[in-house]
Structure formats: structure tokens, C-alpha cells
Amino acid sequence: MNILLTDKCSNSCPYCFAKEKLEEDSRLNQMPLENYRKVLDFLRKSKNRSVKLLGGEPMLHSNIREIINMTVDDDDFESIVVFSGGIFDKSLVHLLTHEKIHVVLNTNHPSDYKEDKWEIFMKNLDYMISLGVDVTPGYNIYKTDFEYDFILELLDYYKLKNLRWTVAVPMHSYENLHVPFDDYRKMGKRLTEFLLKFADMGVESRLDCFLPLCTFNDSDYGKLIKTFPSMAKGGFCRPAIDVGPDLTVWRCFAISSYENVSLGDFASLKDLTGFFMSSFDHYKWHIWPEQCENCKYRLSRICQSSCLAFKVKEIKKFLEEEKCGNSILEEAKELFSKNDISSASVKYKEALKIAPKSIKIKAESSLFYIKSGDFLTAGTLLDEIEKEYPDYSALPVYRGIICEEKKDYQGAVRNYRKALRLCPGENDLKDRIKKLRSLQILNMGFI
């Protein structure tokens, strides 16, 4: 979880991922110390021993001395990561010398700095190194023909052995500079050269987010996995989770216009992550660019096709369609409650037509068809859900109900047990399994 201490920034990166959110949201300015303590309490309850400070430029917070000192002195935290652009008052560098602190220093090409900011950056970096600050350069790629020789020289000069990097993605208005999704393959070869040169220097590079697997050809990807095993994790992401100064939380900056919640509404980081995983992360798999329709990596669920940032417009359209579909769904439920099966079926079909990718509407519709005895249609909908979302927790429950209605008690038990593994606290499933095992004994003998 990243803690945004302030929206103030001393740099003007052309690819900035945070500027638009920070400017559009008037609630974001500077995190009060009281709120910072609440975030630490939240992390403590979550048994999370790492604190990540972000901005803007976190070193511009008016109480940064107190923030760093209180965190360093807290035995519940063993790691403090400061994400800085390196342009701040040199007198603050000494705050970063503690052994708990690790600085990720966002490093741009010299031409991307205005006025004398490159000189300020270099003087602060030089001073950090001289004081023994633990520093890792961070590099954001925002064009296919990106330059990297300056990073090689910097790493070599200061004998640094780590690099964090990522590829810039669009924010909501697409005004920030970024690599278009269609251009990822164009930069694959250059990325491979870039990373292997660092490996030759003994530098460990870490990809901050993820890249679609089609970025690289198979030969280059094989070389990269052999050199950097962590790149074999696949082409998908997990919630980054950012908490703003007013304790508003969003999944990541790329989709920060949607599903903002309050930190105080969650008991732990696990619960917060679970919320975003269940309420938003299915869009990784259910919405994709046209060119990814038949991609083997997407179909096998080892690549989510693109960053959610490239899907924002489609997600917005999807949400509008689902809202309309849900309204029709309520009408269908009302008709079903009055035993008007025929009219209810028409409404369910209408909802499915309006929001064809909605897992929720497909699941609700499948349950209707199960209750009305149309197991064929219900099974078809469940197959469609499973194709795109195989871990959907309702799947084995609904399949179990179908088996139960068909008096296939062994199949029902098998599905309910699978559902119980996904939701171990569901006592109703346990009761169903006990009941069915008794029926099996009576009708089929011991299992």
C-alpha cells in the first residue's frame, strides 16, 4: 500500500501517472499527521511491516522529519520505502540514512528536467551516495525509442546494482505521454537489449507493474526469463492500493476514477485487497482490446491483455451497460416472484443482451434457469462464466444445485466440496453435503 503524503511535486515528468488524479481531486493536498498515524495503525493491524511513502514529492511534506522519525522509531515496521524524484532541499537527505530506509529515486533523461533541476537531482544523488543512503534508480519508459545509456552510466559510476523500471500507461484523459498499447511489440526488442545490458553489468532489474506477454517474441522472452526469473510470473497485475491524504483509497492510479473507498471501512490490508480483487479485478479478464480476442495467453489466463489503464473507456461503457441490465434484472426477479416464468425469461434474456459480458447478470440468470428447470440454458451460461472467470465462487454451487435436481448426488457433493474450498466458512454448504451423503447411502450405497 502506497501512502500519498502530499500532492506537491518539484518535478514535471511528461508521463506523470499521478498529476491528473491529484489535480482533479480537491480533497488531496497534504496528509495530516493524525491521518498518517491512522495509516500506520492500519498497517500494524494488518501485520504489514513495510511503509511506502509517495507523493507528489513526499520530501516536500511540511512534517516529513516527524513522519520519517516516528516511522523509523516504530519497532512494528522494518522497512520504509521512499519514492522520490530527488529534487528537494539537500538538508533533508540526512533523514534518509537510517538502515530501515530504502529510496527509489525516479530518474529521467537529463532533457526531461526543466531549468537547473537535473543539477539539483545529481547533487542530491551524489550526497545520498556519500552518506550511504540505500538508493535504487527508477526509470519510466514512455516512448518506444527510449534512451537508456544515461542510466547505464549512472549505475556504473555509483556502482549501483538495482534498477526499478516500468512502462508509462495513459491516465484518464490520455494527455500524459505513454507508449500506446499497439506499440508494445515495437519496443520489445529494445527492451530486451536494455535489460540484458544491465544483466551484463550485474544489475538486478525489477519490473514495477507488468507487460503483456506479446511484447516480446518467444526467443527474447526466453532469454529474459532465464536472466530474470521473476519475469516468468505472467502478464497480469494485483492491486497496488494507494491511500490519499484524506484516507480515500483506490486500486491504482490507472483506474483511480472508479471504486474509491475509505480506509476506515476496512479492518485490514487483506480485506482491502480482497475488495478490489472481487469488485474490480475481474475486468482484467473480461474486457480486452480487439486484437487480444483470440490470444492464447489471454485465453489461458496467463496474460490480462493490457493494463487496466487502456480499458478505462470500455470499463465505463461496461458499467453503464451493467447498471441498465441490473435494472431489468430487478424487473425479472419481480415477475419470477409472481410465478410469471414466461415474462421473467424474456426480461432475463433482455438483461443478458444489454450486458453480455456481465458475470453478475449471467450468474443471476443461470440461477433463474435452474429454478425454472431449464438446466441446458443454465449450464450454457455457467460454461460462459467458467471460460472467462474459472474461480467464480458461485460456479460450483450452481453446478451442484443442477446435479442435485437431477438426483446426481455424487456430482452435487463433488461440486459443493469444491465450493467449500473456495468459501470454507459456508455452513449451508456443509449441511447440504451431509444431507446428500445420507441420500447417497440410502439410494446408492456407501461412497
Reply yes or no on whether the pLDDT at 19 is more than 60: yes
Give the bridge partners for 226, in sequence order: none
* Per-domain boundaries in the chain: 2-306, 311-388, 393-447
What single string gives the DSSP state of each residue in 259-317? Answer: --EEGGG-SSHHHHHHHHHHHTTTHHHH---GGGTT-HHHHTTSB-SS-GGGGHHHHHH
Average pLDDT score over residue span 368-381? 95
Q: What was the pLDDT predicted at 301?
A: 83
Judge whether 396 and 422 are in contact, CB under 8 Å. Answer: yes
| SS3 state at 142 | coil
Mean pLDDT rounded to a whole number for the chain: 90
Q: Which has the minimum average pLDDT: 26-35, 87-96, 137-146?
A: 26-35
Cell numbers given for 253: 492510479
Summarised one tens digit per residue, pLDDT across range 220-239 is 999 999 998 888 777 888 89
Reply yes or no on whether the pLDDT at 52 is more than 90: yes
Cβ burial of 27 (10 Å; 0-12, 13-18, 19+) is: exposed
Query: Cα–Cα–Cα angle for 36, 42, 48, nearest 5°?
Result: 110
Reply yes or no on whether the pLDDT at 27 is more than 70: no
Q: Which CATH superfamily is domain 2-306 in?
A: Aldolase class I (3.20.20.70)
Summarised one tens digit per residue, pLDDT across range 388-447 is 777 787 899 999 999 989 989 889 889 988 888 877 767 788 888 888 877 665 555 444
Q: Which has the minimum average pLDDT: 21-25, 125-129, 177-181, 228-232?
A: 21-25
**pTM, full prediction:** 0.81
Average pLDDT score over residue span 51-74? 96
Q: What was the pLDDT predicted at 443?
A: 59
Summarised one tens digit per residue, pLDDT across range 315-367 is 888 889 999 999 999 999 999 999 999 999 999 999 999 998 888 899 999 99
Q: Which has the minimum average pLDDT: 114-123, 137-146, 354-363, 387-396?
A: 387-396
Summarised one tens digit per residue, pLDDT across range 234-284 is 788 889 999 999 999 999 988 887 778 999 999 999 899 988 887 778 788
The pLDDT-based confidence of 312 (bands split at 50, 70, 90) is confident
Q: Which CATH superfamily is domain 311-388 in?
A: Tetratricopeptide repeat domain (1.25.40.10)
What is the rounded distance in angstroms from the CA atom of residue 389 to the CA atom of residue 284? 10
Q: What was the pLDDT predicted at 447?
A: 43
User: Helices (H), strands (E): how many in the chain?
Assistant: 17, 10
Cell numbers given for 119: 543539477
Distances (CA, A) of 61 to 67, 160, 222: 9, 28, 44
Q: Which has the minimum average pLDDT: 30-44, 95-109, 330-344, 428-442?
A: 428-442
Judge whether 69 and 38 are in contact, CB under 8 Å. Answer: no
Give every CB contact of residue 365 below 8 A, 6+ residues apart in sequence: 329, 348, 351, 352, 381
Q: What was the pLDDT predicted at 33?
A: 97
Judge whether 69 and 292 are in contact, CB under 8 Å. Answer: no
What is the rounded distance in angstroms from the CA atom of residue 139 to the CA atom of residue 151? 8
Pairing of strands 242-243, 261-262: unpaired
What is the rounded distance in angstroms from the CA atom of residue 433 to the CA atom of residue 302? 33
Summarised one tens digit per residue, pLDDT across range 181-211 is 999 999 999 999 999 999 999 999 899 888 9
Reply yes or no on whether the pLDDT at 41 is more than 50: yes
Average pLDDT score over residue span 159-163? 95
Main-chain dihedrals φ then ψ at residue 31, nearest 5 degrees: -70, 120
Give every CB contact of residue 187 below 8 A, 6+ residues apart in sequence: 141, 144, 145, 146, 167, 179, 215
Judge whether 242 and 253 are in contact, CB under 8 Å. Answer: yes
